Structure 1
């Protein structure tokens, strides 16, 4: 997935459909990044990715296509300078950097050693970050500027996932295409929500005139009302006369299809049963048969 780091807007995504011919694809991560960024080549955009995708060949290819890149990288990747890959750093703020043309490999030690590869950084740009020690003391630690840039711009996909998961319509399903459908609907809703927040024509204000931040729940509720419109899907049930509720007419019977137990649903429990009441026409668990009728037809037990 390619997403905006500032708001989580999903620009493009690709569905992994598994191995072809039961053979693992070589260079899968590199191919995915190329596919997702090809339409922005030549515009000098900055692309950030994690260590699964990062490689020297990929970043060189992106640079040749006027696209900068930065990402954490695994130390066993081909082309990483040995001085960076094998760096033994122990003290906070220690770093090792190597540069070849516009590509910079960096190893920096914080709580552990972090290794990065970038084509959009200058190894001379060093800043400081504050770190709290075990004794409570706060100290300034030397830090390459590229580490701060990576931290600020790496969370686009995380933001998108967070927005989707907050009020996701996705449900567990045995069929993969259902999950994919729900996923795309959620992405479309979240993208629309982000665009509305950015739109100057859809700014909301409080009574005092201050700008009010839009909430995703409010957006989804209004969207649902607009999509439903005047539709009313409540089924009309035939009224049952008093003479029909007496006697031995409420027999348990087996239906042709499983449906949700009516009594369990009242307690917000989802159980699907194939048995139902012949007279009432509602599916019920065996244990729910009596309490349902005691509540629905108390005259049967008088």
Structure 2
């Protein structure tokens, strides 16, 4: 399972340009390269060990940095950008079709200052959160309100 599932699902849509959002179970640099050949873009979170030896700051070192710290690298042959960003935890996002800039602003609660602070947010992370947040909400609603959970079948 993995990238081949995504390619199989998208194989019927090759005539159009799409931007695909995937979670860390499906995202890989090989999938991004394959989708670029198909004329599609992808954005997805990556496991820290799936960055193909990309020279990013290690997650352990990134955790010691202040919130909002980021590091990014461009893989020139496939035009894929990998961003590692420190929020409550270290997040690694790979994407094609976006730029790292402009940085947006994220409002987060600071336990040390006991108030909201504003931290820089890479554009691709903001786009990913906007799309996948809705998907996560849909999954949550389907799990809670699935018709099989609410309809009782009477057996005569």
Residues 120/168 of structure 1: CA separation in 2 closer, same or farther (3 Å cut): same
What's the counterpart of residue 5 of structure 2? 32
Q: How many residues align?
A: 148
**What's the CA shift string for 1:162-199, capped at 9, x where partnerless?**
4433442336xxxxxxxxxxxxxxxxxxxxxxxxxxxx
Q: Which runs of 4+ in 1 moved over 6 A?
A: none
Bigger share in strand: 2
Residues 157/38 of structure 1: CA separation in 2 closer, same or farther (3 Å cut): farther
TM superposition shift of 1:70: 0.4
List gaps (5 residues or longer) in structure 1.
1-27, 172-216, 221-234, 236-302
Residues 52/80 of structure 1: CA separation in 2 closer, same or farther (3 Å cut): farther
* 1:39 aligned counterpart, secondary structure: helix
The TM-score normalised by the length of structure 2 is: 0.82
Residues 82/154 of structure 1: CA separation in 2 closer, same or farther (3 Å cut): same
Residues 41/143 of structure 1: CA separation in 2 closer, same or farther (3 Å cut): same
What's the counterpart of residue 75 of structure 1? 48
What's the counterpart of residue 66 of structure 2? 91
TM superposition shift of 1:56: 0.4
Q: Which has the higher contact order (CA 8 A, sep 6+)?
A: 2
> CA separation in 1, counterparts of 2:116 and 2:146?
40
Counterpart among 87, 103, 106 of residue 126 in structure 1: 103
TM superposition shift of 1:121: 1.4
> CA separation in 2, counterparts of 1:75 and 1:54?
12
Residues 156/67 of structure 1: CA separation in 2 closer, same or farther (3 Å cut): farther
**What's the CA shift string for 1:103-139, capped at 9, x where partnerless?**
1000000111100100121123211111121232222
> CA separation in 2, counterparts of 1:104 and 1:42?
25
Map 1:197-208 onto structure 2 (within 5 A): none
> CA separation in 2, counterparts of 1:166 and 1:78?
35
Structure 1 or 2, whichever has the larger Rg, is 1
Residues 156/138 of structure 1: CA separation in 2 closer, same or farther (3 Å cut): closer
List gaps (5 residues or longer) in structure 2.
none
